[in-house]
A and B are shown apart, each in its own frame.
Chain A
Amino acid sequence: MFTSVEDVSARLAETGYLASPAVATTVFLADRLGKPLLVEGPAGVGKTELAKAVAEVAGARLVRLQCYEGVDESRALYEWNHAKQLLRISAGREQSWDETRTDIFGEEFLLTRPLLTAIRGDDPKVLLIDETDKADVEIEGLLLEVLGDFQVTVPELGTITATRRPFVVLTSNATRELSEALRRRCLFLHIGFPEEELERRILRLKVPGLDEALAASVVRVVGALRAMDLRKVPSVAETIDWARTLLALGAGTLGEGVVRDTLGVLLKHQEDVLKAAAKLDLDAV
């Protein structure tokens, strides 16, 4: 898919995703080694966006499995369409049982869910397994087979092996420690907060009307907030929101009043707002 690491950066940038060297290198390796990519990091740094950008670059279909507590095999892998099967049985009353049986467990009655969808077919696909840590431990066992050998066993149909391996991205917010077995099958990538220079570039790309000096100031303030010991430090998504807010307010420069009034866009807890205001020497909020 990619020829070199620079190629990865350049083509991701075309889709509007500015990748740090670490991200570009790991995506390149995931493609080369044909291994799934496990992405961890704080919320709002673009873990899910990465999968979307890769899909766009590769001209592939994005298949997404959103994990949540209680997600199970029938939501993740496949399910038989029971209602349709019943209809088929009652429609063909005069047929023998043998005929019916081979018929109702055919492709027509199979509802494919994301994992199976990603494996079947010849077109290129990107499989995004989002928030893997939210799923139960049992699902991890299922993922092991899928991600290790890219195959799925359906008892009535046999084992389905991928003819073309999808590019797999798993994301996690680390609320639960994923099992060592799953980690071992993946390349690990931690996306942290970007460097100042990269964040400035992201801002200018995402908020086109922002002038350069203001972007630099915004990034510096956000950097200072991240160095504080807050409950929830602002992420890239919040930085972009803030820049948009400033733009909408028509604030050409970053003054004390503007920062004080808009701190709520960056910080989501009242105690954080108070703490940050104190550290930044803002007057009472």
Chain B
Amino acid sequence: MSAAAEPAAGTAEVAGRLAGFTGALRGHGIRIGTGESVDAARAVEALGLADRELLREGLAATLLHGTGQRAVFDQVFDLYFPRTVGGPEGPAAGREDLRDRLARALAADDAALMGRLAVEAVDGFGGYGSSPGADGWSAYQTLERLRPQTLLARVRASVRAGGGTGGGEGAPEEFTERLLDDEIRRRIELFRRQVGAEARRRVAERRGRQEIARRAVAPTADRVDFLYAGRDRVAELRRTVRPLARKLATRLAARRRRAARGSIDLRRTLRGSLSTGGVPVKPVLRRRRPVRPELVLLCDVSGSVAGFSDFTMLLVQALHDQFSKVRVFAFVNRIDEVTGLLRHGTADPEGLGARIQEEARLTGWHGSSDYGVALGEFAERYADVVGPRTTVFVLGDARTNMADPNLPALREIAGRARRVYWLNPEPRAQWGTGDSAAPDYAGEVGMHECRNARQLGAIVSRLLPV
């Protein structure tokens, strides 16, 4: 569809719309300076407003600086430069009729047609409430009524019968057949996203787009709170582990290089100065022993913080060649070593949490987390793990379910280790509320707020020993 975004828009209105758009993007943490805004306006001038997709690409090229920002950009773009205004004309289609047409569109893999059907679907089934102010459009309700996921079998049958897109010879299709289900699932997922975007657009028309752009647009993956991330966001986060690890590794290498040009070795400098009559012409730098540090991770893997622990474990595992030794321990109220489960290559990120729960002894009499007992057991059973070269990271929300926090155990670990850091996925404001023993622990070791992947990356690159 190449309908004009805003056909008769005057220059001032375009400028205003553009300014609002950049403002909304800034609200999502995308840094856009005036220079970029000006470039964006020049791009609009060069491309014109006739083709919406060209406009989208042009604005993305001028306003964005990184790959991760694109998802947010697309959502906000759809709000500020909508495809159409208002709902579709004509009477609403019946549910079965719409499902029929959707099945055909899915079988033909026609994204444009699916987009139009999404518009119809939201119009027909997404509306709720009747009084002005309390009404709106819901993607959830639309999808509940339409249930596109149940079309899978039907679409598969019709693709097979019709020979699909491939042409329909018997033999070559036999192998690619088995890919079909996943392909259809991906198409259905696309349709769900289209419905979501359409519902947001309709709501934005009613409520004002600024508010919707601020509230209803999903943030970039690295800014999602670990504690509230849904399943698909966690999967998305997991995919960022490896790029993040690679970035952290280069940052660590840079820090290591800088640290190597370190301080002056006074004794050897003076010794060298004897040959020049006591004038230290050539300063001798202290040699650094190439010791790679050891790392120990203590992870709370109880339900509430499991997402955070998993992510951090995978990140550290991906960084494994930066350290001479990495050992990982998991606990709920008992502690057990899980290093083996994370061994390089065998770590299957999806099933990680389940396997840890299955194969390690993590719980004693009850199933809720108890930091005091777990720390005590660690200090007792694994005393030899922590030495003067070891840096210990404790990952958890420090919610002990009212049990004794067992500060002496932590103190003992801290006394033996080179450094101990505590990473807490809760916002700082919530530390100490309810059963949280965070302030007690924070008094013993450095505690850092670590709510999302961005914070984790920053903290890890600063705290990891070189």
Residues of A within 8 A of B (CB): 5, 21-22, 25-26, 28-30, 32-33, 35, 40-41, 174-177, 180, 183-184, 187-190, 212-214, 216-217, 220-221, 223-224, 227, 229, 231, 253-256, 259, 271, 280-281
Contact = CB atoms under 8 A, between A and B. Distances in A.
A183 B33 CA distance: 12
A64 B422 CA distance: 47
Contact of B166 (A26, A213, A256): A213
Contacts of A5: 47, 54
Contacts of B43: 29, 32-33
Nearest to B350: A229
A35 B57 CA distance: 16
Secondary structure of the B side of the interface? helix
A256 B66 contact: no
Given A25-B61, A213-B167, A221-B179, A33 B46 contact: yes
A254 B242 contact: no
A174 B243 contact: yes
B331 to A, nearest CB: 27
A21 B54 contact: yes
Contacts of A231: 242
Contact of A180 (B65, B171, B186): B65
Given A175-B246, A188-B64, 9 more contacts: A21-B53, A22-B60, A26-B58, A40-B67, A176-B247, A216-B166, A253-B169, A271-B345, A280-B179
Contact of A184 (B36, B172, B173): B36
Given A33-B46, A227-B186, A280-B178, A188 B172 contact: no
B63 to A, nearest CB: 8
A174 B66 CA distance: 9
A257 to B, nearest CB: 10
Given A255-B174, A256-B175, A229 B349 contact: yes
Contacts of B247: 174-177
A281 B173 CA distance: 15
A281 B242 contact: no
Nearest to B170: A253
Contacts of B67: 40-41, 174, 190
B73 to A, nearest CB: 11
Contacts of A29: 43, 46-47, 58, 61-62
Nearest to A228: B182
23 contacts: A21-B54, A22-B57, A22-B61, A26-B57, A26-B61, A29-B47, A29-B62, A176-B250, A183-B66, A184-B33, A184-B36, A187-B61, A188-B61, A188-B64, A188-B66, A216-B165, A217-B166, A221-B179, A224-B179, A253-B169, A254-B175, A255-B171, A280-B179
A49 to B, nearest CB: 19
Interface residues of B, number: 47
Given A25-B57, A33-B39, A176-B250, A253 B65 contact: no
B61 A223 contact: no
Interface of B: 31, 33, 35-36, 39, 42-43, 46-47, 53-54, 57-58, 60-62, 64-67, 70, 165-167, 169, 171-176, 178-179, 182-183, 186, 238-239, 242-243, 246-247, 250-251, 345, 349-350
B172 A217 contact: yes
A224 B47 contact: no
A227 B36 contact: no
Nearest to A224: B179
A223 B250 CA distance: 31
B462 to A, nearest CB: 15
Contacts of A254: 172, 175-176
Contacts of A183: 65-66
Closest A-B pairs by Cβ, 4 of them: A25-B57, A253-B172, A183-B65, A26-B61
A25 B35 CA distance: 20
Contacts of B60: 22, 188
Contacts of A28: 46-47
B183 A224 contact: yes
Secondary structure of the A side of the interface? helix
A176 B175 CA distance: 40
B167 to A, nearest CB: 5
Kindly name the residue among B66, B173, B242, B349 whose own CB sees the greatest number of chain A CB atoms within 10 A.
B66
Contacts of A229: 238-239, 349-350
A214 B174 CA distance: 12
A230 to B, nearest CB: 10
B166 to A, nearest CB: 5
A211 B42 CA distance: 44
A5 B182 CA distance: 34
Nearest to B174: A255
A231 B39 CA distance: 37
A40 B66 CA distance: 8
Given A26-B57, A174-B243, A184-B35, A214 B172 contact: yes
A216 B65 CA distance: 34
B139 to A, nearest CB: 23
A259 B182 contact: no
A177 B345 CA distance: 26
Contacts of A25: 47, 54, 57-58, 61
A255 B175 contact: yes
A125 to B, nearest CB: 22
Nearest to A231: B242
Nearest to A251: B172
Contact of A220 (B42, B62, B176): B176
A48 to B, nearest CB: 18
Contacts of A33: 39, 42-43, 46, 62
Given A21-B53, A29-B46, A32-B46, A212 B250 contact: no
